[in-house]
Amino acid sequence: MKIAVFGATGATGREIVRQALERGHGVQALARTPSKLEVQHPNLLILEGNVLDDKAVAKTIEGTSAVIISLGGKPGDKTRPLEHGTKNIITAMKAGGLKRIIAITSLGVGDSKGQAGFFFESIIVPLLLKDEFADKLCQETLLQTSGLEFVIARPGGLQTKPAIGTYQAARKLVAGSSARITRADVAHFCLEQLHSDVWLGQAVSLSN
């Protein structure tokens, strides 16, 4: 399969690209600064551009079969780049006849509120991540009303270390579970959704 990846230069995005290539997929990635991806492979095409540019998005999606979004927001950014970027992606997918899209947001967004822990949701989000979480919620709403075959991944606190190999994926996490997960395990979950219908049309909480 050939997939389009948005947010490929982020820590989780790089892991998605790496694992996708290991699985034999072709990858087309859009990046503002291609050199940040730090991956070279004959099955990887990096296009320079911004997700807010609809033409660049359409070019990235061209010839692919599915899309993975791993875009990150910035604290204090009120312009809602995730919402506008995702809108461009959805428009391009519909124009190109693509259906399957997997997007990473965050535990604590939407109806997963209350699963990310009191300190994070009551102190960190209101003080530092209010605008970013509002943007993620808009992003999720766009996907949920898009008519596409979507899966929304809501990971807990992301850790940059080797995959543990087992993780909890559920509409609601088991009480008392640790709301943390490795980026490698998140990448594994996202890639599994390319060919699985288990979580189709749902937002899934993820934790190790």
Average pLDDT, the chain: 93
The strand order across the sheet containing 202-207 reads: 44-48, 26-31, 2-6, 66-69, 100-104, 149-155, 202-207, 168-170
Comparison of pLDDT for 77 and 92, the residue scoring more? 92
State the sign of the Cα–Cα–Cα–Cα dihedral 202, 153, 71, 195: negative
pTM, two decimal places? 0.94
pLDDT at 177: 54
What mean pLDDT comes out for the span 9-23? 97
pLDDT at 175: 56
Ordered domains of the chain (ranges, CATH):
2-207 (3.40.50.720)
Distance (Å, rounded) from C-alpha 85 to C-alpha 71?
9
What mean pLDDT comes out for the span 145-161? 95
On the question of pLDDT at 151 being above 70, the answer is yes
What mean pLDDT comes out for the span 112-124? 82
Assess contact for 26 and 194: CB atoms under 8 A: no
Comparison of pLDDT for 184 and 111, the residue scoring more? 184
Write the secondary structure of 113-164 as one string of H (helix), E (strand) and C (coil).
Answer: CCCCCHHHHHHHHHHHHHHHHHHHHHHHHHHHCCCCEEEEEEECEEECCCCC
Of 8-22, 139-153, 174-188, minimum mean pLDDT range: 174-188
On the question of pLDDT at 195 being above 90, the answer is yes
What mean pLDDT comes out for the span 103-114? 91
pLDDT at 178: 59
Comparison of pLDDT for 172 and 29, the residue scoring more? 29
Which pLDDT tens digit goes with each residue over 34-88? Answer: 999 988 899 999 999 999 999 999 999 999 999 999 998 777 777 889 999 999 9
Of 25-34, 149-158, 178-187, 199-208, minimum mean pLDDT range: 178-187
Comparison of pLDDT for 165 and 73, the residue scoring more? 165
